[in-house]
Structure 1
Amino acid sequence: MTEAAAPDTRTDNSADQPWPVRTVAIKIAQWIDRLGSVWVEGQLTQITIRPRAAYLVLRDPAADMSLSVSCPPELLHAAPVPLTEGSRVIVYGKLAFYTGRGQVSFRISEIRAVGIGELLARLERLKALLNAEGLFDPARKRPLPFLPRAVGLITGRAGAAERDVLAVSRNRWPAVEFVIRNVPVQGPTAVPQILGALANLDRDPAVEVIVLARGGGSVEDLLPFSDETLCRAIAACRTPVVSAIGHEPDNPLSDYVADLRAATPTDAAKHVVPDAAAEQTRVIELRARSAAALRGWVERETATLAHVRSRPVLAEPMRRIDERNDEIAQLRAAARRDIRRATETEATRVVHLSERVAALGPAATLARGYAVVQRVAGPADMAVVRSVTDAPPGSQLRIRVGDGALRAATLGNDTFGSDKLERDNS
């Protein structure tokens, strides 16, 4: 703030009553001054030391944002650990607004290098936080496609990781296609560019799996792959992500969030792309096993049919019928004998009854000399004569004897009178 600037106490602001530049500059200086001194963490990307001051650029590792910082040169020289571009530091200072030039400056009075132990402790706290949110849960891990149409590869330009992934993948399956995004894999610009490449590949419908690949390095070199923003972006991807960062002992947080953790970029290629020769061998083996299983099934079914056909009922199908035929013939003969016996018994019974009926009937009586006399009044009107009064003189009579019938007429009622008899031959 310049000494010549007169304070302006006006509070109203409109098109008719605009504030002068000095008022706006003073208000901005007052607002910034209220912030006070703050601790800020970032990564040094530029260090310029002049005789009277040192000028630094402090960059956010997870975003494309930076602050210009100034400090006395002695502050850098007195640092217990030499500070270089790329160092992660924590600074303490105060923002100021220079009203004369309209510029904001960040003057620091303390600077500390973030040590490996502190970095690891922070990573452990972040790891616990992400794990508590469920980003490491195996249930959310998605399976990799068997043979992806295209593989997205995010790696450094012309690095060993890219060569390893491409060489191993094309040796295993020559027709595999890659969509490569070369980005910085360490330093202050790594995280923003990795995030952009990840979002770009995740939007590509042809890419079915994404590989993050980087060779080995120090803890500081691998810090971008433990960044919280990057971890959350990996978890939010719709496309399965494979993390192949460093070597076997290296475990950045991206390994825990990704759908698959590969020990090395070469191992990632083996997981993502199937081995054509191994798959062909497997197909041949499966075909042989299928053929053997089919032959075994046919042989078992053939043996079962032979066993069934060897049974007596199928070996001699007419045998049971012949046995039943003889049984039926015996039953029929027995039935005939029973019927014949029953018929003869009943016939004998009928004869006996006929004899009894004949013995009790009038024919036997007539045969002993008796006769039945009927008066004939008409062709169909005949009545038995039981008294002499039933046959007055001149009555036509029919006399039935044992061997036939006679016709006669009464001459009178005298019992001992002569009767005129006529022989009835009918």
Structure 2
Amino acid sequence: MTTAQANSAENPYPVRAVAIRVAGWIDKLGSVWVEGQLTQINVRSSTAYMVLRDPAANMSLDISCPRDLVHSAPVKLTEGTQVVVCGKPTFYTVRGSFSLRVNDIRAVGVGELLARIERLRKLLEAEGLFDPRLKRPLPFLPSTIGLITGRASAAEHDVTTVAAARWPAVRFAIRNTAVQGVNAVAQIVEALAELDADPDVDVIVIARGGGSVEDLLPFSDETLCRAIAACTTPVVSAVGHEPDNPLCDLVADVRAATPTDAAKKMVPDAVAELALVKELRHRSAQALRNWVGREQRHLTQLRSRPVLADPLRALTERGDEIERARAAVRRDVQRLVAVESDRIGHLAARLATLGPAATLARGYAVVQTAAGDILRTTAAAPTGTRLRIRVGDGAIGATSTGPTDGAA
């Protein structure tokens, strides 16, 4: 191609040239194997037209195949069937559309689905989406429960009936969505976001009954699991029955074995709560009566003690002891005084007996000179010495006539 023939604004390609070039480029891709979910199956006289949808993204491919290929498929092809197809990409120049012309259809086996779910489980677990520390507790009594479930399903009936029977005042914000098939994930994620944004909703329940691995496949979808983990409102997963364990059970804040079990976990039983309140009132009243009785017995014991039964008894006993002690002291003092008085009397009598007065009373006299000196010798009283003679009843004066013969 020369420079003059190069594509430009002055030398544009016609539509047919572009369409032919695109068809040529796509034709070079050859055959490819593609996995997805089937939807919009339309079987005509000789050709079947379907849409192959990516379950993890909002993308799809138009595919076509011979009618016999649909009828001879290893499984019945229905909405939501997971398949692997081999086809050649084709660009139709007349309509300017792209499609995949399929020449082989294979169903994805249960083993392969479980293996993929297990790989996704390990990935989400490594990212911490199953961490128990991220689990939010359920409110004790939610005012409004958001319920995501199939329209007129048994799961909806079980949740609403059991919850209302347990707590009649409970309210529901119900969002009916597809719970299996190609549209389930998108609708559930949309309903989940809507309920999570509602400030009146205290807890969200995702409920559906049991089913096969293929039926429950949307609840192990990565998009739904991440949407549940991103919710700020606590989420309860009630998908399937006890043996079923989709990945949303592990991401949710609470896993319920069945929709009925979810209703029991979300709201308390009014009858049981009233019975518990009655029992607690009885136990508290009994405990109070026991406490009062115990305190009364303790007070009775305290009042029966001598110190409280007769508070003045100790003082009275001590007063009696003091009186007895005073009487004993008084007797001892009196006895001591009497003894000492007798001794003093005896000493006085002895003193009186041995004293000069008693001697004078017996007829003796004491002769003193005028100077008061006791006359002891005759030489001390020469003739003319004035003397004082003391007798038993007084004293007389006398004059010495001198010594006389002692023989007289």
Relative to the length of structure 1, the TM-score reads: 0.69
CA–CA separation in structure 2 for the residues paired with 1:61 and 1:288? 58
Matches of residues 58-77 of structure 1 in structure 2 within 5 Å? 58-73=52-67, 75-77=69-71
Amino acid at match of 2:118: E
Cα 1:82–1:330 shift into 2, 3 Å? same
1:218 aligns with 2:207: no
Deviations 1:42-96 (A, max 9, x none): 1111233456643221122344432111234454455333433331112234434
Whether the 8 Å CA contact 2:80–2:180 is kept in 1: the answer is: no
Q: Which of 250, 271, 280 in structure 1 is aligned with 2:265? A: 271
1:208 aligns with 2:202: yes
Deviations 1:349-386 (A, max 9, x none): xxxxxxxxxxxxxxxxxxx99xxxxxxxxxxxxxxxxx
Q: Which of 218, 221, 226 in structure 2 is aligned with 1:227? A: 221
Cα 1:74–1:316 shift into 2, 3 Å? same
Deviations 1:234-262 (A, max 9, x none): 12211111111122222211122212221
Q: What residue in structure 2 maps to residue 244 of structure 1?
A: 238
1:80 aligns with 2:66: no
5+ residue gaps, structure 1, are 1-5, 342-367, 370-426
CA–CA separation in structure 2 for the residues paired with 1:153 and 1:127? 25
Whether the 8 Å CA contact 1:32–1:95 is kept in 2: the answer is: yes
Matches of residues 247-396 of structure 1 in structure 2 within 5 Å? 247-325=241-319
RMSD value, Cα: 3.4
CA–CA separation in structure 1 for the residues paired with 2:313 and 2:14? 125
CA–CA separation in structure 2 for the residues paired with 1:7 and 1:54? 46
For residue 17 of structure 1, report the CA deviation from its aligned partner.
5.8
Deviations 1:263-308 (A, max 9, x none): 2111111111211111111110010011111111111222222222
For residue 123 of structure 1, report the CA deviation from its aligned partner.
1.4
Aligned residues with identical type, % of pairs: 66
For residue 138 of structure 1, report the CA deviation from its aligned partner.
2.4
Whether the 8 Å CA contact 1:149–1:208 is kept in 2: the answer is: yes
Range moving further from structure 2, 296-305 or 107-116: 107-116
Give the SS at the match of 1:286. Answer: helix
Give the SS at the match of 2:202. Answer: strand
Deviations 1:77-128 (A, max 9, x none): 5533343333111223443444553322223444321011111111122222
CA–CA separation in structure 2 for the residues paired with 1:144 and 1:287? 26
Deviations 1:117-162 (A, max 9, x none): 1111111222222222222222222221111110111111111111
Q: What residue in structure 2 maps to residue 48 of structure 1?
A: 42
1:115 aligns with 2:109: yes
Cα 1:276–1:51 shift into 2, 3 Å? closer
Whether the 8 Å CA contact 1:29–1:99 is kept in 2: the answer is: yes
CA–CA separation in structure 1 for the residues paired with 2:5 and 2:127? 51
For residue 334 of structure 1, report the CA deviation from its aligned partner.
10
Q: What residue in structure 1 maps to residue 392 of structure 2?
A: none
1:144 aligns with 2:138: yes
Cα 1:334–1:281 shift into 2, 3 Å? same
Range moving further from structure 2, 159-168 or 320-329: 320-329
CA–CA separation in structure 2 for the residues paired with 1:296 and 1:27? 97
Cα 1:54–1:297 shift into 2, 3 Å? same
CA–CA separation in structure 2 for the residues paired with 1:308 and 1:70? 101
CA–CA separation in structure 2 for the residues paired with 1:82 and 1:232? 31
CA–CA separation in structure 1 for the residues paired with 2:206 and 2:107? 29
Q: Which of 51, 54, 60 in structure 2 is aligned with 1:57? A: 51
Cα 1:110–1:150 shift into 2, 3 Å? same
Cα 1:55–1:334 shift into 2, 3 Å? same
CA–CA separation in structure 2 for the residues paired with 1:286 and 1:19? 89
Q: What residue in structure 2 maps to residue 417 of structure 1?
A: none
Cα 1:72–1:307 shift into 2, 3 Å? same
Q: What residue in structure 2 maps to residue 182 of structure 1?
A: 176
Cα 1:138–1:7 shift into 2, 3 Å? farther
CA–CA separation in structure 1 for the residues paired with 2:203 and 2:5? 63
Q: What residue in structure 2 maps to residue 359 of structure 1?
A: none
Deviations 1:187-245 (A, max 9, x none): 11111000011111111111111111111222211111111111111122111111111
Range moving further from structure 2, 46-55 or 324-333: 324-333
5+ residue gaps, structure 2, are 337-370, 373-408
Amino acid at match of 1:240: P
Give the SS at the match of 1:207. Answer: coil
Give the SS at the match of 2:141. Answer: coil
Amino acid at match of 1:48: N
For residue 8 of structure 1, report the CA deviation from its aligned partner.
9.1
1:161 aligns with 2:155: yes
Whether the 8 Å CA contact 1:209–1:242 is kept in 2: the answer is: yes
